[in-house]
Structure 1
């Protein structure tokens, strides 16, 4: 069996590109300013327009320079938007090289952008999927993502809020999270359990370790 390629451009650094959009944005009738919420979340991961941009009103693209962090970032975006009852987001993670990094991310190009865009265009009912240079890797990771989405896509606002707080404050105790959100500590444990946080983060860790292995080849 021939070894899978690192990249079409192995001499270039590999990155992850996340392409996404707000689901049913035109149907949202509440007073939620989801555009500001989306930009607030994206600003944690770089500067606009070089690292991320929002375009066509409800779509966005983000470059993640450490591909092993891409799934965690996608989970943060999911949790952040799903804190609001009417909001959700659909995303595709593309892994590969970046050939031309322009001052505006939407003008940048490379394998990662192609993989992200093609995977995004192929999404149907899925709200998160990945495409990399390694087919076998994609099959195993997308299987895990699909299983995780059975829970993630049904997060209520309260679960999403606690998951986001946990992701943003990984060293915090449940007591700290409870104080941050002004809820009883028992609610933190209950909501994390209901959100499937433990198994979902096991899947995120599996992705992280497997991508590091690929990057080290």
Structure 2
């Protein structure tokens, strides 16, 4: 079962394009299959995730990287399904993963939820409820909180001491910022997505 993420930048009109394009492109390049992402309309994007279980990880890293700047945030729809690759071009391709991510993204604003999944499986209800609860915290990351989350997500093996050095703060301050940004609980959410993906994948292959 393939996974596509589709997103819209929130606050793009208040910022110059390079403020957010330079942030999201390296993350998309890292998590997507080679050449299988696109940025369109200037502030929207989609990408075919190389390791499906990491779709939420990639989404939250994009969110953290953008929220380092106070005026930026993102809406992301995660679509699970199949992909019919056409001419090695994600923009021309079809399939339920692409359709689900696109249709869900279009509906996020009216749903008033900035991050959701759609696999067509009843398990979506549980994952989306967990995401809705998590967003009560994630939507309120401060710029400092977002910076420390972005750094630890881009370098998972970094120590708290190195984290502090990179950010020019003491280790204890870095630790407090991780706690305030609810990093431990965010990791639990990422584990939950792993299980959700496995269950949905197993349900479609049996």
- Which has the larger share of strand? 2
Q: What is the TM-score of this pair, normalised by structure 1?
A: 0.86
Of 129, 134, 137 in structure 1, the residue corresponding to residue 116 of structure 2 is: 129
Superposition pairs of residues 168-183 of structure 1, within 5 angstroms: 168-183=154-169
TM-score by length of 2: 0.90
1:187 aligns with 2:170: no
2:140 is the counterpart of 1:154? yes
Aligned partners of 1:30, 1:114: CA distance in 2, in Å? 29
Alignment RMSD (CA, Å) = 1.8
Structure 2, unpaired ranges of 5+: none
Say whether residues 1:120 and 2:141 are aligned partners: no
Kindly tell me: are residues 159 and 102 of structure 1, through their superposed partners in 2, closer, same or farther at Cα, counting changes over 3 Å?
farther
Structure 1 gaps, min length 5:
1-13
> Is the 1:90–1:127 Cα contact (8 Å) retained in structure 2?
yes
Structure 1 residue aligned with 2:186, among 185, 200, 203? 200
Q: Is the 8 A contact 1:85 1:157 kept in 2?
A: yes
Corresponding residue for residue 22 of structure 2: 36
**1:21 corresponds to which residue?**
8
- 1:104-137 deviation line (CA, Å, top 9, x unaligned): 21111111001101111111221111101312x1
**In the TM superposition, what whole-angstrom CA distance separates every residue of 1:47-70 from its partner, at most 9, and x where no partner exists?**
67x311100100000111322111
* C-alpha distance in structure 1 between counterparts of 2:87 and 2:133, whole Å: 36
Deviation, structure 1 residue 29: 4.7
Equivalent-residue separation in structure 1 for 2:98 and 2:115 (angstroms): 16
Cα shift readout 1:159-197 (whole Å, capped 9, x = no counterpart): 001001111121222112112222110111111111111
User: How many residues are treated as equivalent by the alignment?
Assistant: 201
The structure with more helix, counted as a fraction of residues:
2
CA contact (8 A) 1:53 1:104 kept: no
Question: Structure 1's 184 and 212: CA in aligned 2 closer, same or farther, altered over 3 A?
Answer: same
8 Å Cα contact 2:31/2:51 also seen in 1: no
Give CA-to-partner distance per residue, 1:30-86, whole Å, 9 cap, x none: 7962222222332222467x3111001000001113221111110110001111111
